[in-house]
A and B are shown apart, each in its own frame.
Chain A
Amino acid sequence: MTPPHSVYDAAGVQSAEILQLWHVIAWTCAVVFAAIVLVLLVAIWRAPRSSRETAPDLSGVDTPERGPRRSVTGAVIASVLALFALVVASVVSDRALARMSLVDAVNIQVTAHQWWWTAQYLNGPVSQTFVTANEIHIPVGKPVLLTLKADDVIHSLWVPSLAGKKDLIPGRTSKMHFRADRPGVYRGQCAEFCGLEHALMGLLVIAEPQAQFDAWASAQRNPAPSPTEAKTIRGRDLFQSQSCALCHAVQGTIANAQHGPDLTHVATRQTLASLAIPNSRAQLTAWISDPQKIKPGTNMPATPLSAADLDALVAYLETLK
């Protein structure tokens, strides 16, 4: 269902830089480890040996090792040099990460909640901004600047294919920037334990060509389409008169609460409940009738509805494209 969550699947300049640093550190550590194991093996091989008949020759034990000072000095110098090389590599990578141009960047404000994400697209005048949840679309080859905020507790955003981790701290604003260089769907995840459903707090980043992104963005700016059939009209009325509208917003209707994900275009998203389940009719029905079965502890309560009402509500939500 979801794409791989892997540092090795680097899809942008920032993640490529981080991957390069990872290779330098991993190979340096591997060489150091191999050297230590090698020296240990030599020491074991050189140790006095005995057989069944003869006692071990311990005569050399009392005579001091030749040149201990030389070996220790050599090892210290090698360690200092290796550590210094790692520091230099780290600084060089850091500067490379900071150097990425932010001209013409896509500005997105990401707010973390227990246990889902809000994404607010801030480019252009206020009439051009829009809100979506748990799914970020970005244009390929263009810098993206995320403004990170948290609503309740400390979270951390990690999309390993695109960038490193960054914490989202209540009351503070942090920034993060990256660029996707090839189109694709990349998985993100909360990387700081934030409560019961921390593990089911995923995020999709969808990188697509500029034209496709523009089409998506302009569709997201529209209010929700008005239902036309009797069944979907009933679904909308239920949405507004039951508990849904107390937490969710659907632009273009009276439902305007901000406590849960904005559902204006929920039918266009690939997953529900922050990557917990795929967005299908059956899963949506199961989710509304009892979210606690799928994501125990989630702030969405079960909604007791008759089968016909539930059907109408799901039919309405499926028209929100």
Chain B
Amino acid sequence: MTQPSRTVLLLGAIAAALLVSGCEREARRFATPPPPQVASAARLGLLQPATPQQGEVRLATVKASPYDGNAYGVNQGKRLYRWYNCSGCHALNGGGAIGPPLIDPEWKYGSDPASIYASIVQGRPEGMPSFGGHIPQDQVWQIVSYLRSMGAGK
């Protein structure tokens, strides 16, 4: 029996490495992180501002989105970008309309993941509403990853 040549072995090893490197890209996790203890969030009337929420409006303590480089998370972010009507102001693919574009490198309030997270959760002056307490943390990170994948701040 002839031994496979060195080139064939090497090519096989490279192909296997390429295949394995794709494994993490599509990883999905469905376990929800345990919810923080939250105080009552009830409002007495529609016009009364919501009570300050320590649980969710708190700024991110991590610097990167857990979904960066994860195809599933980025895809979910794209869906949520439309569902939650980010596209209503920033345009369907982030080109900008009433709101500023999200695909250019210059961002008023910073385009690093933690700053984007803060912009979504806290809102910004001149029209960006605060989504803290409405969009769950996990989904905010998915949106952040989607924006970063579109070229934000690159």
With a cutoff of 8 Å between Cβ atoms, the chain A residues found around residue B44 in the complex are: 237
In the complex, the answer to whether A241 meets B83 with C-beta atoms within 8 Å is no
In the complex, the answer to whether A312 meets B42 with C-beta atoms within 8 Å is yes
Contacts of A288-308 to chain B: CB distance below 8 A: 289-290, 292-293, 296-297, 299, 301-306, 308
In the complex, the answer to whether A297 meets B28 with C-beta atoms within 8 Å is yes
- Complex Cα gap A303–B137 (Å): 10
Convert B44-80 into 0s and 1s, putting 1 for each residue whose CB lies closer than 8 angstroms to a CB of A: 1110001000011000000000000000000000010
A123 at the interface (CB under 8 A from B): no
For A246, give its contact among B36, B55, B134 (CB under 8 Å). B134
In the complex, the answer to whether A292 meets B30 with C-beta atoms within 8 Å is yes
Q: What is the chain B residue whose CB lies nearest that of A114?
A: B79
In the complex, the answer to whether A243 meets B136 with C-beta atoms within 8 Å is yes
In the complex, the answer to whether A237 meets B32 with C-beta atoms within 8 Å is no
Q: Smallest CB–CB gap between A300 and chain B, Å?
A: 10
Q: List 6 A-B contacts (CB under 8 A).
A: A241-B41, A243-B133, A297-B30, A301-B136, A304-B35, A305-B41
A254 at the interface (CB under 8 A from B): yes
For B135, give its contact among A246, A290, A299 (CB under 8 Å). A246
- Complex Cα gap A220–B64 (Å): 47
A181 at the interface (CB under 8 A from B): no
With a cutoff of 8 Å between Cβ atoms, the chain B residues found around residue A169 in the complex are: none
Q: Smallest CB–CB gap between A130 and chain B, Å?
A: 23
A240 at the interface (CB under 8 A from B): yes
With a cutoff of 8 Å between Cβ atoms, the chain A residues found around residue B56 in the complex are: 304
In the complex, the answer to whether B42 meets A238 with C-beta atoms within 8 Å is yes
In the complex, the answer to whether A309 meets B40 with C-beta atoms within 8 Å is yes
In the complex, the answer to whether A308 meets B40 with C-beta atoms within 8 Å is yes
Q: Smallest CB–CB gap between B144 and chain A, Å?
A: 15
Residues of chain B at interface, number, CB under 8 A: 28
Given contacts A290-B32, A306-B38, contact A240 B84 (CB under 8 A): no
In the complex, the answer to whether B134 meets A292 with C-beta atoms within 8 Å is no
A243-B134, A243-B135, A296-B30 are known contacts; what are 14 more A-B pairs with Cβ within 8 Å? A234-B42, A240-B46, A241-B50, A242-B41, A243-B133, A246-B83, A290-B32, A299-B79, A301-B32, A301-B136, A304-B35, A304-B38, A306-B39, A306-B41
- Complex Cα gap A301–B44 (Å): 25
A153 at the interface (CB under 8 A from B): no
Question: Of B35, B50, B133, B139, which is in contact with the most chain A CB atoms at under 10 Å from its CB?
Answer: B35
In the complex, the answer to whether A242 meets B135 with C-beta atoms within 8 Å is no
- Complex Cα gap A296–B30 (Å): 6
Convert B120-154 into 0s and 1s, putting 1 for each residue whose CB lies closer than 8 angstroms to a CB of A: 00000000000001111011000000000000000
A200 at the interface (CB under 8 A from B): no
- Complex Cα gap A304–B83 (Å): 20
Q: Smallest CB–CB gap between A311 and chain B, Å?
A: 11
In the complex, the answer to whether B35 meets A237 with C-beta atoms within 8 Å is no
With a cutoff of 8 Å between Cβ atoms, the chain A residues found around residue B45 in the complex are: 237
- Complex Cα gap A302–B43 (Å): 21
In the complex, the answer to whether A302 meets B40 with C-beta atoms within 8 Å is no
Q: Smallest CB–CB gap between B74 and chain A, Å?
A: 16
In the complex, the answer to whether A246 meets B84 with C-beta atoms within 8 Å is yes
B37 at the interface (CB under 8 A from A): yes
A175 at the interface (CB under 8 A from B): no
A259 at the interface (CB under 8 A from B): yes
A267 at the interface (CB under 8 A from B): no
In the complex, the answer to whether A259 meets B83 with C-beta atoms within 8 Å is yes
Q: What is the chain B residue whose CB lies nearest that of A236?
A: B42
In the complex, the answer to whether B42 meets A309 with C-beta atoms within 8 Å is yes
With a cutoff of 8 Å between Cβ atoms, the chain B residues found around residue A246 in the complex are: 83-84, 134-135
Q: Smallest CB–CB gap between B20 and chain A, Å?
A: 23
A247 at the interface (CB under 8 A from B): yes
Q: Smallest CB–CB gap between B140 and chain A, Å?
A: 10
B31 at the interface (CB under 8 A from A): yes
Q: Smallest CB–CB gap between A310 and chain B, Å?
A: 10
- Complex Cα gap A139–B12 (Å): 64
